Amino acid sequence: MNSRTGISKEFSIMVHLSSTLLKRYHGGFVVIRLALGGCTNRPFYRIVAAFNKRARDSKYIEQLGTYDPLPNIYNEKLVSLNYGRIKYWIGCGAHTTKPVAKLLGLSGFFPLHPMTVTEAERKRKQAVLMEAQQVGEGDKEDEQDKEEQEA
């Protein structure tokens, strides 16, 4: 018989860890993220509270909403959020992924994500540049036409 105090070569007890112990042991945490569903060329996301180590689409703890990335006939992207439960999970210490944080920011539950603002600014600058370019090209064409007419 191996004594528990001494060093035993074989394991004297083998135990199945319960979920709390398992979480502690693996250092896992709860995460609010998007789980992908839908069909080919038609994605659809569920906003879901799940353990970090689980696969993206596999068993989750609770569904907290949906996000449809394709715009509908009124050019809207529909998002649903269960604020009460999201509050509960964040109070229990759940992390959020970047897209979920952005969605929450846009909905007003969180402050606006910095990258949303930055991306919007970048797009605006790009749009202004493109307009300037087009205007410049239009001028150039006018000048060319004038030269041809003169010539």
Partner 1 sequence: MFQVARSPAALFRLLTPRGGVLVEAVRGRKSRNDPKAKSKVDRVKLPPPIDPEEMVVLKERYREYDLIVRALRAEFREEVMRRRYEEQVGSRAEERAKREAEEHRALMEWNDRENLRLRQLREVRVQKQVEEEAKRRAEEILLHEERRQCVLKEKEQEILQLQEDVKTFITPENLEQRIEEALDNPKNYNFAIDKEGRVVKRTVLP
User: Per CB under 8 A, does 85 bind partner 1?
Assistant: no
Residue 2 structure tokens: 């191996």
Stretch that binds partner 1, among 15-23, 58-66, 70-78, 111-119 (CB under 8 A): 111-119
Is the CB of 41 or the CB of 72 nearer to partner 1?
41
CA 38 to chain centre: 17
The answer to whether the CB of 38 falls within 8 A of the CB of 46 is no
Computed on alpha carbons and rounded to an integer, the radius of gyration of the chain in Å comes to: 27
The answer to whether the CB of 68 falls within 8 A of the CB of 78 is yes
User: Per CB under 8 A, does 6 bind partner 1?
Assistant: no
User: Per CB under 8 A, does 90 bind partner 1?
Assistant: yes
Tokens 């370019």 sit on residue: 133
Is the CB of 48 or the CB of 101 nearer to partner 1?
101
User: Per CB under 8 A, does 93 bind partner 1?
Assistant: yes
Footprint on this chain of partner 1 (rule: CB under 8 A): 87-88, 90-93, 110-114, 117-118
